[in-house]
Amino acid sequence: MEYRNLGASGLKVPVLSFGTGTFGGQGPLFSAWGRSGTDEARRLVDICLDAGVNLFDSADVYSNGASEEILGAAIKGRRDKVLISTKMSLPMGDGPLDAGSSRQRLLASVDAALGRLGTDHIDLLQLHAFDAFTPIEEVLSTLDMLVRAGKLRYVGVSNFAGWQLMKSLAIADRHGWPRYVAHQVYYSLLGRDYEWELMPLARDQGVGALVWSPLGWGRLTGKIRRGQPLPQGSRLHATAQFGPPVDDARLYAVVLLDAIAVEAARTVPQVAIAWLLSRPTVSSVIIGARDEAQLRDNLGAVGWSLSADQIKRLDEVSGVMPPYPYYPYRVQEGFARLNPPLV
């Protein structure tokens, strides 16, 4: 297993981390993702640790806290061998204090997460969404309190726009509060919007990408074919409406993955993940698995590399023209000379 620094921090993380959205299986979305109980979760954690994957990502909204509880039980007795990442800010109820990143909510939510996880600290806490109703100063000063109290080691965000992240970093610098070192983002061969603004920002500011849904919300499994219905066992039947949209023409164009998988003697998911690991600013790709077979297949994405030609072909077939103000820097030589794209 390869390890990379998480952004500009000193924290070393594995290039593959494990997402625990499949633990618990409560509600229409998470029950379709997976329903791993404690025994199965413990087995998946065993496999991860044997492979060098020691970062486990969760969130309070995953199965209404059940994911964190099961993860806590699965790592019991070996807390010193793992890194725990979790997220909060999304609604956990209908009350006025059940959502957001206010001081009241963060203090209560961190204590609740620590209780569910059975630990005294969280290695990486990420805000699951930007809270436009709470001043950024209040959010960051609260995170500073929690870091000083020893309850958090590092802080990050997820699903932020560029201006939201940059403003937060500037305010943190102004006051000497902890900087966000991670941004958990959607990025895949079917969704490359991250490259337009967030990737250059991450490179400039030292923010590492933790990639969620590297298989395009379950579309890059190698089982979806043009002119054929979705496989009966695909979770897309129940979850497609919750995830990032993908038009069919683009999806089927990226089926070039099949040919490259044959060339590399790898599976389609392994190729899709390996492509992400070659991209700038990516610190770790979060893999999920409903069972041991899926996990072992995803783990096969490391220990080898795509050729430069294979990467180029995947880039070309998956690329889309970005919107203004980004497209001039891609298509006009004068703009590109002043600010060339990172990829």
Predicted confidence (pLDDT) per residue in 105-138, tens digit: 999 999 999 999 999 999 999 999 999 999 999 9
Say what the pLDDT of residue 249 is. Answer: 74
Q: Give the active site residues.
A: 62
Structure tokens at 115: 């209780």
Q: Which bin fits 164, alpha (ψ -120 to 50), beta or left (φ > 0)?
A: alpha
Cβ contact 118:72 at 8 Å = yes
- The b/e string for 50-59 (b: 16+ C-beta within 10 A; e otherwise) is ebebbbbbbb
The secondary structure of 48-76 as a DSSP string is HHHHT--EEE--TTGGGGHHHHHHHHHTT
Alpha-carbon span 266 to 26, nearest angstrom:
33
Structure tokens at 144: 């500073």
For 308, counting Cβ atoms within 10 Å of its Cβ (0-12 exposed, 13-18 middle, 19+ buried), the class is: exposed
Cβ contact 24:62 at 8 Å = yes
Predicted confidence (pLDDT) per residue in 201-245, tens digit: 999 999 999 999 999 867 787 666 665 666 666 665 456 566 677
- In terms of DSSP H, where are the helices of the chain? 27-33, 38-51, 66-74, 103-117, 136-148, 162-175, 198-205, 236-239, 248-253, 256-264, 268-277, 292-299, 308-318, 328-331, 333-338
Say what the pLDDT of residue 326 is. Answer: 94
End-to-end Cα spacing for the chain: 24
Which of the residues in the chain have pLDDT under 70?
29, 31-33, 217, 222-243
Alpha-carbon span 65 to 333, nearest angstrom:
51
**Beta-carbon neighbour count of residue 68 at 10 Å?**
29
SS3 sequence, 144-199? HHHHHCCCEEEEEEECCCHHHHHHHHHHHHHHCCCCEEEEEEECECCECHHHCCHH
Q: Output the CA torsion 222→228→232→237 (10° steps).
A: 90
Q: How far is CA 34 from CA 69, 169, 269, in A?
A: 15, 35, 18
Cβ contact 82:39 at 8 Å = no
Tell me the pTM.
Answer: 0.92
**Beta-carbon neighbour count of residue 201 at 10 Å?**
17
Cβ contact 333:341 at 8 Å = no
What domains are there in the chain, each with its CATH number? 3-245+269-306 (3.20.20.100)
Residue with tokens 């077939």: 317
Which among 83, 161, 97 has a CA at the least distance from the CA of 125? 83
Sign of CA dihedral 41, 43, 49, 51: negative
